[in-house]
Amino acid sequence: MADLDEILRAAKSNSGPAVLLTGAGISAESGIPTFRGEEGYWRVGSKNYQPTEMATWATFSRMPDEVWAWYLYRRGICRAAAPNAAHRAVRALEETLEDRFVLITQNVDGLHLRAGSTEPRTYQIHGNIDFMRCADECTEALYRIPDEVDATWDKGRKIDVATREHLLCPACGTRARPHVLWFDESYDEIHFRFESSLAAAAEAAILIVVGTTGQTNLPLHVGSMVAERGAPMIFVNPEPTTFTRMVDDNPLGLFLEGTAGDHLPGLLASVAEALATP
């Protein structure tokens, strides 16, 4: 394990981008439950479903209204939340580094964009809960879920006819689906920036991973690519996860145990200073 000064010196000597990879943990201090926390289940009738059971094309095909109800419920939580100091620190680093910066986020809550991170440099690799797209894929277009939904959706978690009318593809009129990557679906470039994320990992001057258990394969692949290059890598999390082993085995790795709010403002200011000065 290296110390921060050594890591920043090594990052400064590389012309690649600073790459941030964030997970649900960066939004925990905004009040959004993490994915694998105990509060994650959803009741349908008398059965409790885990997110991994609800967030699938198979479940949507079988009970679309229930899946939409779950997503509209979670969308409401995300819309009521506000970006926190960690999101703002990420935005500030992008403002300093501009095109020498890439943000890869697993979060669908949209808080990075609401904190001011820019869409072209923010790879939302699991989608965004505020958007929908055609379930029949008549188009690749994304549509923001209409605000009218909030007026018609009975917060009692049922989808009624009036709400269903707002959840149709504007292009062909058939049912729309949430713009979120489901567990039985694959990453791609057009919707989830798959190749762009791997390209960023291949040339990153430094990778900073924040708030993730590392249970999904693209984030793990990004981390492994940087670790295999022996490139500078920092992991910020309150408890050890898969990424802790990656940084422990990396001569230029560092595990900062603690929350995103505790570490990111100071850490990203140091990264900005190290990489911005010629």
User: Which of the stretches 42-50, 74-82, 168-176, 234-242 binds ligand APR when contact is defined by CB under 6 A?
Assistant: 234-242
C-beta closer to ligand APR: residue 56 or 96: 56
Applying the rule CB under 6 A, the residues between 8 and 67 that interact with ligand APR are 23-26, 28-29, 34-37, 51
Number of residues that bind ligand APR (CB under 6 A): 24
CA distance linking residue 76 with residue 78, whole number of Å: 5
- Pick from 26, 268, 222, 29: nearest CA to 125: 222
Residue nearest to ligand APR (CB): 25
| Interior/surface letters 36-45, b for 16+ CB within 10 angstroms, e for the rest | eeeebebebe
By CB under 6 A, is residue 84 in contact with ligand APR?
no
CA distance linking residue 206 with residue 39, whole number of Å: 33
Question: Can you read off the two tokens belonging to residue 144?
Answer: 């923001």
Tell me which of 126, 177, 179, 229 binds ligand APR, using CB under 6 A. 126
What are the residues whose beta carbons fall under 8 Å from the beta carbon of 276, sequence distance 6 or more? 96, 97
Question: Can you read off the two tokens belonging to residue 223?
Answer: 């981390």
Q: What is the DSSP string of 235-259?
A: EEESS--HHHHHHHT-TTEEEEES-
Applying the rule CB under 6 A, the residues between 159 and 218 that interact with ligand APR are 211-213, 215-216
C-beta closer to ligand APR: residue 29 or 130: 29
CA distance linking residue 160 with residue 154, whole number of Å: 8
C-beta closer to ligand APR: residue 27 or 163: 27
By CB under 6 A, is residue 127 in contact with ligand APR?
no
Exactly one of 87, 126, 166, 179 is catalytic; which is it? 126
CA distance linking residue 120 with residue 63, whole number of Å: 34
Instruction: Provide the minimum distance between the beta carbon of 115 and ligand APR in the complex, in angstroms, as a whole number.
Output: 15
- Pick from 28, 9, 35: nearest CA to 206: 9
By CB under 6 A, is residue 124 in contact with ligand APR?
no
Instruction: Provide the minimum distance between the beta carbon of 69 and ligand APR in the complex, in angstroms, as a whole number.
Output: 19
Tell me which of 11, 260, 267, 268 binds ligand APR, using CB under 6 A. 260
- Whether 126 sits among the annotated catalytic residues: the reply is yes
> From the centroid of its chain, how far is CA 126?
6
Tell me which of 161, 239, 277, 278 binds ligand APR, using CB under 6 A. 239
- Contact (Cβ atoms closer than 8 angstroms) between residue 130 and residue 79: yes
Catalytic residues, which ones?
126
In the complex, the residues that contact ligand APR under the rule CB under 6 A are 23-26, 28-29, 34-37, 51, 106, 126, 211-213, 215-216, 237-239, 241, 259-260
